Amino acid sequence: MSDGKDKNNKPEPVIVRLDEGARNEARSILFHSYLREPTFQYLFDHRRPGYEQRVRATIRELIDLYFDLDQEAVGVMVDDTLVAVAFIGEPELRLNLAEQISWRIRMVLTAGFACTRRYLDYHEKIKAMLPQPLAHQLPLMGVNPQYQNRGYGRLLLSAVERLCADNPRGSGLVLDTGNSRYLPFYESEGFHSLGKIRLGDFEDHVLFREVSPEEKQAVPG
């Protein structure tokens, strides 16, 4: 029987599906993952007081929205600790945040009208780049900073890619990043550029990884 340790007595990471009981842990991981990311710093105006509160509120409202819409969420557990999370939008969702009235109201009340408007505009620009046929989207993914550079991000992304391959309605996976240092990692995973979105003095990269027929055939079932 396995005790969850490898031969070097290190805990083995385990991929888990997340339910609503993981909300608080997921919020904490994603808050610390996105707080210093250029995209969030631009969208939620890090130069103005209250930036951390706006990021925290946005993460909370997005997580709640994706759980309310019954979207897939997965994570990496290490020794009973959740160290990484990802929220996945189904291909059919093509979420129009402008139509999520209760979400918009909560965002305006917590993040402010200007930042909410800026985020909605950014979201619409990403939607305009989405490929045909439909693809999954990865709006939120992060690794606890204390567990970074240990391969958990790659492990989590591979799990997301397998879930995408398991869905016959999806053509692949779309994600974005405003941090150019992540590009080599995503390129090594087979992602290529769909385009860029200008955000102030930098560009946010929208990337796509196609699920090949071979990957779909390799999925059990």
Question: Is position 196 within any domain?
Answer: yes
Is pTM, for the whole model, over 0.85? yes
Closest by CA to 140, choosing from 47, 61, 52, 53, is 61
Question: Is position 2 within any domain?
Answer: no
12-56 tens-digit pLDDT: 999 999 999 999 999 999 999 999 999 999 999 999 999 999 999
Question: Is position 194 within any domain?
Answer: yes
- Edge-to-edge, what's the strand order for the sheet holding 172-177? 14-17, 72-78, 81-89, 136-143, 172-177, 202-210, 192-199
148-173 tens-digit pLDDT: 989 999 999 999 999 988 887 788 99
Question: Is position 159 within any domain?
Answer: yes
Give the C-alpha separation, 26 to 77, whole Å.
12
User: What's the pLDDT score for residue 122?
Assistant: 94
Give the C-alpha separation, 64 to 61, whole Å.
5
User: What's the pLDDT score for residue 213?
Assistant: 56
3-state SS, residue 27: helix
pLDDT band at 64 (very low <50, low <70, confident <90, very high): very high
Question: Is position 126 within any domain?
Answer: yes
Q: What percent of the chain has pLDDT over 90?
A: 73
Domain ranges, residue 45:
14-218
| CATH code for the domain in which residue 51 is found | 3.40.630.30
User: What's the pLDDT score for residue 121?
Assistant: 94
Question: Is position 42 within any domain?
Answer: yes
3-state SS, residue 112: coil
Question: Is position 8 within any domain?
Answer: no
Number of structural domains found in the chain: 1
3-state SS, residue 11: strand
* Res. 193: pLDDT tops 80: yes
Averaged pLDDT, 45-68? 95
* Res. 220: pLDDT tops 70: no
| Cross-strand pairs, 154 | none
109-130 tens-digit pLDDT: 999 999 999 999 999 999 899 8
User: What's the pLDDT score for residue 94?
Assistant: 73
Give the C-alpha separation, 14 to 16, whole Å.
6
Question: Is position 195 within any domain?
Answer: yes
